Chains A and B, each alone.
Chain A
């Protein structure tokens, strides 16, 4: 099978899954009687509809190629950073560092990927952004909460730009015998992370009893985590044929992806709650904001990238 055939099979599978989900939503919607089950089904249908749109965007993006993929992920980072900064209290004296984060740091990070500059892209934000953004901020002469403001901007750029950019950076990797298939690795990552989220939600709704971390993420349960996590890991193993991994390597790697995804969901949930919000935004109907959908990806992408780069290139 060519990489293109594999891509068509994977997305064909996703479309069948979504069709089943839409059908299930419609049937459950007819049956729902009580107020609360009505609300759950409405939210479920909104989520499925948003999935259709996100899938369509990805299909078009991958069909257009690498540049389009980088632009789309650049926009994902942009919207995620916009949400993060919206919820973060900023002061007038933060103006210049914020402008630099949006209009210089973000495009530069994606350009470094476009020009295959792994050595620079891996340290640009953690070293140069880390040192220079606060240095620029000092010129505004405002020391009030300077450490807090610096830390928030650093976290915002690290999560929304640096970590998310590792996902399209998978296209950079040269894996012997796997040439021209970088996009499949990216699809693999997104599929495992998002399936893990969805399956945890489904298992949680069906069997959820024991709260995992009620203060941080009230809807997460142990039953959902274990059921969804195991199911997503098994699917990851079964999808070994689209990756350069053997079946047991795919199982182990998808297990790591699932765990990192869970940790990302929890950490960013704690983050948004400390900023006083329940959702990061309102962009994606039923899901909340861009970061509510990308929280798990932002943690899983860098680790997945490094595993593949270390063991397979």
Chain B
């Protein structure tokens, strides 16, 4: 484990706990796409810290190039978290923005993605973008694991710089798969529903 990664997960544990709850699957080295609700900049590190170390070696968070692509953030994202950067702004309209993700999955490794595409402000996630659907279509054998992060929207509201320390649990649910002939809209809504289900009685 790299020292920077060790320091980062230590800080994340201190500030937000990031206690893992494996309710629907076990922490196994199966190839997976973990998809989670997104409310703060700590989300990626919180999920990363909740994974056992052996899984961190084969799991890559997906991060937005416009935020994580330069300076210290780039160092943290690419060196410590070994993140895959995605171009949200589509600077080259002909390029497939999902390409770096596809390459990672082709190598047999796992991803952490936030299908909302941007940070929300509420406890429950908003509509999902279609990336998850495209990946599920192209890689039908990869397990799709819903993940729910609680409390982080309170810990670090959108404009905040310092997180308010708060115990956050990272809840891993039962893997889902794309059903035959399932439409994009139906699949994305079902995937979002799985994340919401993990929230239990937490209200938006």
Contact = CB atoms under 8 A, between A and B. Distances in A.
B175 interface: no
Interface string B165-178: 11100000000000
Interface in B128-169: 151, 154, 157, 160, 162, 164-167
B19 A85 contact: no
Given A99-B162, A103-B162, A282-B19, A82 B157 contact: no
B160 A86 contact: no
A85 B167 CA distance: 9
Nearest to B15: A82
Sorting the interface of chain A by its residue count into under 10, 10 to 19, 20 to 34 or 35 or more gives 10 to 19
B157 A86 contact: no
A103 B17 CA distance: 17
A81 B165 contact: yes
A21 B157 CA distance: 46
Interface in A277-303: 281-282
B154 A83 contact: no
Contacts, number: 29
Contacts of A83: 167
B166 A95 contact: no
B25 to A, nearest CB: 20
Interface of A: 78, 81-83, 85-86, 90, 92, 95, 98-99, 102-103, 281-282
Interface of B: 17, 19, 121, 151, 154, 157, 160, 162, 164-167
21 contacts: A81-B165, A82-B17, A82-B165, A82-B166, A82-B167, A83-B167, A85-B164, A85-B165, A86-B151, A90-B154, A92-B157, A95-B157, A95-B164, A98-B164, A99-B162, A99-B164, A102-B164, A103-B162, A281-B167, A282-B19, A282-B167
